[in-house]
Amino acid sequence: MTIYLDLLFILNFIYDLLLLLTVSVTLKRNTKFKRILLGSFFGAISTFIILIPINKYILLILKILSSVIMLIITYSFKNVKYFFNNLLYLYMTSVILAGFLYFLKLEFNNLSYLISLSIAPLILYLYINEQKKLKEIVNYYKKVIVTFKNNKTLSLNGFIDSGNKLKDPITGKYIILINKKTLKGIYNIRSPMYVPIKTINKKSLLPCISIKNIIINDKTYNNYLLGISDTFNGFDNINCLLNYHLLED
């Protein structure tokens, strides 16, 4: 089998460059482009270790070591978490790219290297987009602890609802929504305050509870009311609709 070393180097340099750029964009690493080029260059050079007649386990260790060095060249070593996040995303991205290209190779037997290089950026672009969408969705889920005036607490799984922009016009406090059943055994609603709200179809009065505070991600908020909704029954283990104002906070 004939191996063209120049072609092997160019292909791996481009693939490593694409992978490192994807990691940089996905994790928002503020890295100079010349460092990405240096990392890609080292990655391409280290590819030649596959030509060395050594044990496959030693070869695997050398490959892992080369990827570690490539990441340190590109992003430096700031701390353990930072480094392992880079390593994790590098391997995830490479597996996704290699998997797609292998699938296309099976589907189209005569898939050339040029076509593979043309398709690779598109695959990684779609991957970055999906990662961004996933992060946006995950960022909408919050663990919430509500502290009532009687100092009793209630733990909730909250979701920031873009449609919930409810606000008490008198106190200026924002409203988060839960179902009445969620308060069973925790808080007895005797004399709620009624806040005028406007929905898509009509205007109505929403029964609300004045609370001490809510805690989200170790941050305490004092400017919220607890709205009691009969229509919201929860979904996907979510039992609290948070106010869209939290995104602005």
Specify which residues 82 forms β-bridges with: none
* pTM greater than the 0.85 cutoff: no
Helices 56-75 and 80-107: crossing angle in degrees, nearest 10, is 120
Its CATH class, for the domain covering 141-248, is mainly beta
Enclosing H/E stretch for 85: helix 80-107
Neighbours of 122 (CB within 10 A): 10
Give pLDDT, residue 68: 92
Mind listing the pLDDT tens digit for each residue in 177-210? 988 888 877 777 777 888 888 766 678 888 898 8
**Is residue 76 classed as helix, strand or coil in its secondary structure?**
coil
The Cα–Cα gap between 159 and 146 comes to 14
Q: What are the residue boundaries of the structural domains of the chain, listed by start?
A: 5-138, 141-248
Q: Which of 79-88, 110-119, 152-161, 168-177 has the lowest mean pLDDT?
A: 110-119
Mind listing the pLDDT tens digit for each residue in 21-34? 888 888 888 888 99
Band of pLDDT at residue 44, cut at 50, 70 and 90: confident
The Cα–Cα gap between 90 and 100 comes to 16
3-class SS shares of the chain: helix, strand, coil, % to 5: 50, 20, 30
